[in-house]
């Protein structure tokens, strides 16, 4: 039997832009490497949900992870699910690419996507059907931005919980020749946290805390 490897505590919490005074809607982002045992990720996800509830000053009721029919993960209370004093379950989003695994948790709807920076992968005409006309125009002049623009789109689709198998051209993440500050009424942010990956966050709260789980 293999010894169970539990994740080590985060080495540091790096604060990013602070929330406006009086705001308690926080977004917690956790980063780990890929290739861990399944129970490691389960422990990390549970610790992240508990930390998100603690940031909001709430208790941590018994819970489990579930998925919608389209595959969107969510938190579900397992005891007294209809009790009036239960806090709202945090919204969660998970993504992985290359050696990076990330999770976001927030009291607000949230979507996160991490995408490797592929230097040789360029926008081509064959990609056009996946993109809004404004994105097509932007990418035709900046084909090297394909991965970042696609990651931004995925973060919004993950927030909505609709997946990437339907229409992905009904909205644009580009506005005035730059990444749009909002998509569908939700803030869109490109977080320069990894040298080898793009990290895009859609929705969530104005305060972001980052925890890195070390090997």
Angle at 38 between CA 36 and CA 44, to 5 degrees: 80
**Distances from the Cα of 114 to the Cα of 4, 102, 197, angstroms:** 27, 7, 6
Q: What is the pLDDT of residue 81?
A: 61
Q: How high is the pLDDT of residue 3?
A: 28
Average pLDDT, the chain: 82
DSSP-assigned letters across all residues of 118-152: -TT----GGGGGGS-HHHHHHHHH-GGGHHHHHHH
Question: What does residue 80 show for φ and ψ, rounded to 5 degrees?
Answer: 50, 50
| pLDDT tens-digit readout, 192-214 | 888 899 999 999 987 777 888 76
At 82, the pLDDT band (50, 70, 90 cuts) reads low
Query: Tell me, what's the pLDDT at 130?
Result: 93
CATH architecture of 26-34+91-213: Alpha-Beta Complex (3.90)
Arithmetic mean of pLDDT, 125-146:
94
pLDDT digit string, tens, across residues 23-42: 446 788 999 998 999 999 99
Q: Where are the domains of the chain?
A: 26-34+91-213
Interatomic CA distance for residues 110 and 72, integer angstroms = 11
Question: For the residues 134-150, what does the mean pLDDT come to?
Answer: 95
pLDDT at 10: 32
CB atoms within 10 A of CB 213: 22
Q: Which residue has the tokens 């695994």?
A: 101
Among residues 45, 41, 22, 24, the alpha carbon closest in space to that of 87 is found at: 24
The pTM of this model reads 0.83
pLDDT band at 167 (very low <50, low <70, confident <90, very high): confident
Token reading at 29: 């982002």
On whether the CB atoms of residues 141 and 135 are closer than 8 A, the answer is no
């Amino acid at each position: 039997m293999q010894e169970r490897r539990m994740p080590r505590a985060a080495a540091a919490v790096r604060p990013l832009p602070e929330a406006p005074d009086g705001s308690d809607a926080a977004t917690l982002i956790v980063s780990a490497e890929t290739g861990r045992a399944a129970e490691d990720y389960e422990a990390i996800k549970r610790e992240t949900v508990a930390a998100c509830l603690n940031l909001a000053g709430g208790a941590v009721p018994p819970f489990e992870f579930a998925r919608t029919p389209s595959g969107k993960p969510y938190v579900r209370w397992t005891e007294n699910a209809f009790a009036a004093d239960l806090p709202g379950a945090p919204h969660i989003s998970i993504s992985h690419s290359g050696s990076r695994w990330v999770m976001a948790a927030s009291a607000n709807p949230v979507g996160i996507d991490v995408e490797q920076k592929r230097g040789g992968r360029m926008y081509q005409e064959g990609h056009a059907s996946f993109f809004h006309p404004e994105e097509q125009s932007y990418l035709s002049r900046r084909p090297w931005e394909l991965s970042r623009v696609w990651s931004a789109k995925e973060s919004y689709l993950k927030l909505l919980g609709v997946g990437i198998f339907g229409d992905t051209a009904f909205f644009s993440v580009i506005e005035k020749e730059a990444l749009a500050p909002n998509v569908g009424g939700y803030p869109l942010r490109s977080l320069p946290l990894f040298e080898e990956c793009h990290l895009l966050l859609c929705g969530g709260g104005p305060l972001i805390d980052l925890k890195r789980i070390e090997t």
